[in-house]
Amino acid sequence: MNKLLVLVPDYISHILVKGEYQPRYYNPGEVFDEVHILTTMPDRPDLTALQPTVGRARLFFHALPEDTRMAGRPWRLFDDYLLRRWAEPGIEIAREIGPALIRCHGADWNTYLASRINTVLGVPYVVSLHINPDVNPTRRFLTNPLDRGQRRQNELFEVLERKGLERADLVMPVYTPVVPYLDRMGVTRYEVCYNVLNGDQLRKKESYALGPAFRVLCVGRLFDAKHPDNIVRAVGAIPGAELTIVGDGPAREPLQSLVGELGLTGRVHFLPAVPNNELCAMMPEFDVFAIHSEYWELNKSLLEALLTGLPCVVSRRKGLAVPELVGDFILKVDNTEAAYAEVLTRLRGDAALRESVGRRAYDHAQENWAPEKTEAKFAKIYRDTMKRGLHSAE
């Protein structure tokens, strides 16, 4: 029986509530008969709700919460006695399971644990990285490097990330902006592997004719770096336009206040959480997809929109462009009300433009990010890594 151990640093129950999971997320290609998911958070998710993420495989769940007290300690790269002690129960869990492979999502406490399991038991592991933490940090601070608490937190995660990545059989950045971080870390065994998206529900947009309203869709977490306030203002300036915002975050209340101030309550709709199956299925019913993001990333919801053939409008970020988003299959604008309003007005009034941009988006996305291609790539990596077998253990 093929067994996979998946190590994640997430509150899985939170992801379930937001509805972001898709079928076979943790078992692409259904390579494994049994999947054990271990989180480094104190979490107890609903396993019935989680089952679709492993397909037909038997699902088991474990938790080994991170030790947050360590963030306050001074660290050296060679001083990880406390980390080793923390990892010991996870090594015993792995010993009992006997996995053929470990898959890590993100570089955090989970990848450090994978490196210890690999060192002691010889189990190979692969790591997918979904963000460049040097540019868009999640566990580090960039605000005040002179603050001792921030400095020690950063030092701890530098240790966790470096030790977690250095022994990996393969690191799989989900887009090329992650690569400079891997180069800094000295990682040489890596390959860009794009996210596997929901091929069960994504369908091609067939008609570009407008209905009674010009419908714009915006999907993403609502916070400063992805704040869609200028999209709201632009939609408000276009007669007959409506905007649906899918996502939640600290910017939602200010956005709702802005909608009220502009008198757009009936034209801007907020959906804090939509299950991924429903979101993918409803995308082709919209006329345009529009987002603002300062993140140096290839946004998952943007990929989903491109794969359906929706015309997509994306803001130019401050700094380097995302290499995957260079081309005529997407419309780029400055993050201003006027820029969004101008391009949305053109799209609203020109059916041929909507269709040509949408068809280019669909063709480009299918060539580069088709779910069947990306899922098959992960499945091949799993099989090839398992064929190489166990490493030499301690």
227 Cβ neighbours under 8 A, 6+ residues apart: 251, 255, 292
| Domains of the chain (ranges, CATH numbers) | 3-193 (3.40.50.2000), 214-369 (3.40.50.2000)
* Residues 287-312 as b or e (16 or more Cβ within 10 Å = b): bbbbbbbbbbbbbbbbbbbbbbbbbb
Q: Which two tokens stand for residue 13?
A: 């129950």
3-class secondary structure, 203: coil
Neighbours of 237 (CB within 10 A): 14
Is the pTM higher than 0.75? The answer reads yes
Q: How many Å separate Cα 92 from the centre of its chain?
A: 30
Neighbours of 70 (CB within 10 A): 18
Per-residue model confidence as pLDDT tens for the chain (394 residues): 799 999 999 999 999 998 889 999 999 999 999 999 999 999 999 999 999 999 999 999 999 999 988 877 776 644 678 899 999 999 999 999 999 999 999 999 999 999 999 999 999 999 999 999 998 888 777 667 677 777 788 888 888 999 999 999 999 999 999 999 999 999 999 999 999 999 889 999 999 999 999 999 999 999 999 999 999 999 999 999 999 999 999 999 999 999 999 999 999 999 999 999 999 999 999 999 999 999 999 999 999 999 999 999 999 998 899 999 999 999 999 999 999 999 999 999 999 999 999 999 999 999 999 999 999 999 999 999 999 877 666 6
Distances (CA, A) of 10 to 105, 138, 182, 268, 334: 9, 12, 22, 31, 34
Helix (H) or strand (E) holding 2, with range, is none
